[in-house]
Amino acid sequence: MKEETIIFAVSMLLCLTSVVSTSIGVASFYAEPYVPSACYGNNDNGTNIISVSDSLWDNGNACGRKYRLWCKPVTVDGIYQPCTADIAVNVFGYDATVVDRCGQCNGFTMLLSQEVFSALTNTKDGQVQVEYM
């Protein structure tokens, strides 16, 4: 009986888990001032913020959307772009909230606040490949 209960409990847990899908993009950063923003006008939303391209903007429905971001190390123009040495950020990612729209974003998927970008990689790199969900 005890074994059946354990099997049932494990089966239920497996049913409750969901498959998580991530996307890949390229991000750069922008510096203060972070206000005004398309989503919140002159309200300050701190520094864990991002501005998204038209492909993610969703006619303004992206406002307030939270993304978890991970740096994907790549080589750009023959130069390796390392991620942060912060193991927790590499494993668990970094959370940021959409506050603005950057239209075409100069070809980037999103622009991160300087603080978010710095948490993922060195700002001297200028751009980074990101995985996000």
Domain range for 122: 20-132
> Is the residue at 44 inside a domain?
yes
* pLDDT at residue number 4: 55
Residue 18 has pLDDT above 50, yes or no: no
Residue 15's pLDDT is 44
Domain count across the chain? 1
In this structure, what DSSP letter does residue 41 have? B
Please indicate, yes or no, if residue 10 is contained in any of the structural domains. Answer: no
Residue 27: CATH number of its domain = 2.40.40.10
Residue 7 domain flag: no
pTM of the full structure: 0.79
50 alpha-carbon distance from chain centroid: 8
pLDDT digits (tens, 9 = 90+) for 58-108: 999 999 999 999 998 767 788 775 677 677 887 889 999 999 999 889 999
Report the candidate in 65, 64, 78 with the shortest Cα–Cα distance to residue 23: 65
Q: pLDDT for 26-72, tens place per residue?
A: 999 999 999 999 999 999 999 999 999 999 999 999 999 999 999 98
Q: Pick the residue with more confidence: 12 or 43? A: 43
User: Mean pLDDT, to the nearest integer, of 105-128?
Assistant: 92
| Per-residue model confidence (pLDDT) at position 90 | 78
In a domain, 13, yes or no: no
Examine the pLDDT at 129 and tell me if it is beyond 60.
yes
Average pLDDT over residues 109-131: 92
Residue 12: inside a domain: no
Judge whether 14 lies within some domain: no
Domain assignment present for residue 58? The answer is yes
- CB-CB contact of 22 with 132 (8 Å): yes
Supply the pLDDT for residue 1. 55
Q: Is residue 2 part of a domain?
A: no
Closest CA to 69 of 117, 125, 31, 18: 117
